[in-house]
Structure 1
Amino acid sequence: MTATSVTASETQDAGVAGAEGRRAPLILRNRTFGAVWLGQVLTQAAVRMFQVGVSWWLVAYAVRDARGLASGLFMAACTLPAVVLAPVVAATVGRFAHRSVLRTGAAVAGAVAGALAVCAQGEHLPLVAVYAAALALATCQAFFDPCLTTSVPELVDDVDIETATGFELSTQSLAGLGGALLGALIVDRAGVAGLAAGCAVAYLGAAVLIAGVRFRAAAAAGTPSTTEPAGTTEEAAPQRRPLRRILGELPYVRAILLCFTAANLFTTAVFVVIPLYTRSVLAGGGGTVALLEASLGTGALVGAFTGARVPGRPTVAGAYCLGLMALALALPGLVADRPVIAGCLGVAGWCAGAVSVRFVALFQRLVPTADKPGFFAVMQAVLGASLPVASLVFGLAGDFLSPRTLCLAQGVGLLPAACALALLGGPRTSAGKR
């Protein structure tokens, strides 16, 4: 992806804002970034709605025995492409016009969701069709997300990087909130057919938004420039190093990623635990799933916008956030009260959102520009490597252990990662210069 051209009206608006001593929100000042950000909101809202809705459908309607395993396999299918396809994603994002990658990914996902909606009209929907659709949608998202993350410094000036990062990461929070409010409820009322149709509309809407804007050339990141013609490849960039060398030459960044990979083994299990907890402990329905997912998504949304204000060195602030998240995830194992659980998930979501903003902004500044396409694909793969494992392990365990026990396991498992993160030094002592 490349940055937006500056139109005359935008320049005039910026001058007026400066004269008034105030700046308009970034998504209004930078219309191309706003359009692409909204496109990401739609795509991630769709994929999260699909994940939440199908997870609930498997647990409540489709599977009688081994509900935990079925849900865990589904979530593994939703996370596996980002790990397996990391080298392909890095090569694609580095070679082709980012606008084309984003537009194509959204359009293909819309077609897949539409096909599933048609398939689900019959009396019996094969599980294999649902799992295949999950793999296809996750594959499209595996290209979309790192492509957008790579392009943030090209879309905005350096002074706006943290703000843009907050908007971008808030997309996941908004998506979680949208999926929480709609996914399980749509399944209760319209089944998988209605769920897939809604996802198709969101994906195709994102494709239209992205197709309607133009981006700057990559060489013009952070400065005014001409726009790139639609469908062209990026301008020649500095030679990119092999993927294995990117993290090898950034030991500080590598250590942080390893800490969060270990943490993800326990934090991401919440998406498997929530439907199991709702059915087995709370004896609730789609509305309860919506409440719990909404609490998690709302907390993450607030964290995405307030994370930059958390004081302290990133590793220290991150360690405190992981410790607080451990407590929040473990408490539902001790207190089975719906308002308490919703509050705990809100706190856990805030911690996740705040940590993401601090560390992605840090990586934007520490990683050389030429390495960013490869790095963010590797980052997604490294962090995502724990997701299929966590889904399978906690899903299978859910068929033998109480969801309350799984909550306690999540909290205890986070503590070593929090301690390891707290012991890391600063980038000057381990990673070298920016």
Structure 2
Amino acid sequence: MSAVDSRAARRPLVLRNPSFGRVWTGQLLTQAASRMFQVGAVWWLVGFAGGHHRGLDSGLFLMVSTLPAVALAPVVARVVARHAPRTVLAGAAAVAGAVAATGALLAQAGALPMAAVYAVGLALAACQALFDPCLTTSVPELVDDADIEAATGFELSTQSVAGLGGGLLGPLVVDAGGLPGVVATSAVAYLLAVLLVLSARFPQATARARATAGDAAPARRTLRQVLAGLPFIRRVLVCFAAANVFTTAVYVVMPLYTRGVLHSTGSTVASLEAALGVGTLVGSFTGARVPGRPIAVGSMCLAVMAAALGLPGLVAGHAVAFGALAVVGWCVGVIGVRFVALFQRLVPADDKPEFFAVMQALLGATFPVASLVFGALGDHLTARTLCLVQGAGLVPVALALWWAGGRKDGDALRAAAAQPLARAGETS
């Protein structure tokens, strides 16, 4: 390899492959816009729209905004399978941009009722539910085989980065420009994403289509068949689904805590979002260095999260809330890294697409439940009490996860955890 080629190989993938860089930037913009609108709308509902049911209103909004990712999974799979990736990606971003632009115009004219705010949130979430899996599926059409791991790493980092940026900007934009400002800013981000996707090339698409033409599609196992031989994984997924009910409620509790306990503005909500996002990023990068088996690490992190979530309920204050959410974010990042790597080792390669798709749907399905339940509780309990409920709810989940690792099939877990990740195309 020449010196020029060596230097080029060391450059980040988004610079070496401009088409992938444009599509990845498009995903970053769409996810940031979606998160910004969600957080901004919740803060608008809690801090500006008033009413006697702030908790329920914000909880219902978050529930509506998270349902499409679960409810539309079969439809999304069919659309992604039948249409060219660039068409699906650009179309989803264009529809989202059009919806957001229309919402901004109506909001500016003062004609955007509460039901319309919910409808905009639902439409934007549906578009994002189509965009993200389509990009995941199209990665092999954007990059060479040798770059698939690097591309996947960039894609997985998008949610944390976009969540951090969108969560930080949402309340600030609402404070500065109200609901019209945050919807208009989201519209601009979506339309920029359309231009980026349309300017990208998918160089591997034709080659892969020719290579697979005429090949018989392999028979795939159903999820029931996949999980039948993995009882340990079933128990772990149930534990994390239960944990998500209490951890994802933080997005409802944060604005209520800011208004009712800290008596602060959108800048404080943005700071709390930033603390959570930074903690998650740090946890994602340091999770692999935390010593111990995945079950021990996961149980420890859930216990620490329980204490961190409950602490603001015992000791009110800005610094306590910021520190607690940073710790919660770190634990979330560590758990994600350790258990996704573990599942990569335990789940056979041919079963991974179905497994990870359903894993995301299962964990995502708890978000609407948490939003509705904690939103409704927020109209009857103080925000400090909600913090204590979150912490207390995680304690039995941490114990259940520890118990799951102590079962006799935990021996297989320990053996698998000691093995390196299977390479692409190999079974675990």
What is the aligned residue count?
Answer: 412
1:84 matched to 2:71? The reply is: yes
For residue 345 of structure 1, the aligned residue among 325, 337, 340 is 325
For residue 15 of structure 1, the aligned residue among 6, 30, 39 is 6
The 2-side partners of 1:99 and 1:239 are apart by 27
1:407 matched to 2:392? The reply is: no
TM-aligned CA deviation for residue 427 of structure 1: 5.3
Please tell me the residue identity of whatever aligns with 1:208: L
Aligned-residue Cα RMSD (Å) equals 3.2
Unaligned runs of 5+ in 1: 1-9, 219-224
For residue 126 of structure 2, the aligned residue among 130, 139, 147 is 139
Partner of 1:3: none
- Secondary structure, aligned partner of 2:379: coil
Q: CA distance change for structure 1 residues 415 and 38 in 2, over 3 Å: closer, same or farther? A: farther
The 1-side partners of 2:252 and 2:221 are apart by 37
Deviation digits for residues 166-217 of structure 1, max 9, x if unmatched?
5333322222221232111111121111111111111222232233333365
Deviation digits for residues 294-339 of structure 1, max 9, x if unmatched?
1111111222333333333333322222222222111111111101
1:359 matched to 2:350? The reply is: no
Partner of 2:376: 396
TM-aligned CA deviation for residue 349 of structure 1: 1.1
TM-aligned CA deviation for residue 259 of structure 1: 1.8
Q: How does 1:5-404 map to 2 (within 5 A)?
A: 14-16=5-7, 23-150=10-137, 155=143, 161=149, 164-215=151-202, 217=204, 226=207, 237-364=217-344, 366-368=346-348, 371-404=351-384
Deviation digits for residues 9-62 of structure 1, max 9, x if unmatched?
x997552367xxxx3334334544433332222111111101110001111111
TM-aligned CA deviation for residue 80 of structure 1: 1.0
Q: CA distance change for structure 1 residues 134 and 364 in 2, over 3 Å: closer, same or farther? A: farther
TM-aligned CA deviation for residue 90 of structure 1: 3.0
Partner of 1:5: none
TM-aligned CA deviation for residue 278 of structure 1: 0.5
The 2-side partners of 1:24 and 1:243 are apart by 39
Please tell me the residue identity of whatever aligns with 2:7: V
TM-aligned CA deviation for residue 156 of structure 1: 6.8
Please tell me the residue identity of whatever aligns with 1:15: S
TM-aligned CA deviation for residue 247 of structure 1: 3.8
The 2-side partners of 1:114 and 1:11 are apart by 50
Partner of 2:423: none
Please tell me the residue identity of whatever aligns with 2:15: L
TM-aligned CA deviation for residue 368 of structure 1: 5.0
Query: Higher mean Cα deviation, 170-179 or 87-96?
Result: 87-96
Contact 2:62 2:368 in 1 (8 A): yes
The 2-side partners of 1:89 and 1:213 are apart by 22
TM-aligned CA deviation for residue 284 of structure 1: 0.5
The 2-side partners of 1:326 and 1:153 are apart by 40
TM-aligned CA deviation for residue 372 of structure 1: 4.5
Unaligned runs of 5+ in 2: 418-426
TM-aligned CA deviation for residue 153 of structure 1: 7.2
The 2-side partners of 1:74 and 1:388 are apart by 9
- Secondary structure, aligned partner of 2:370: helix
Contact 1:95 1:234 in 2 (8 A): no
Q: CA distance change for structure 1 residues 257 and 426 in 2, over 3 Å: closer, same or farther? A: farther
Query: Higher mean Cα deviation, 33-42 or 151-160?
Result: 151-160
- Secondary structure, aligned partner of 1:385: helix
Please tell me the residue identity of whatever aligns with 2:126: T
Please tell me the residue identity of whatever aligns with 1:146: P
TM-score with structure 1 setting the length: 0.84
TM-score with structure 2 setting the length: 0.85
Query: Higher mean Cα deviation, 277-286 or 118-127?
Result: 118-127
Partner of 2:397: 417
Q: CA distance change for structure 1 residues 314 and 26 in 2, over 3 Å: closer, same or farther? A: farther
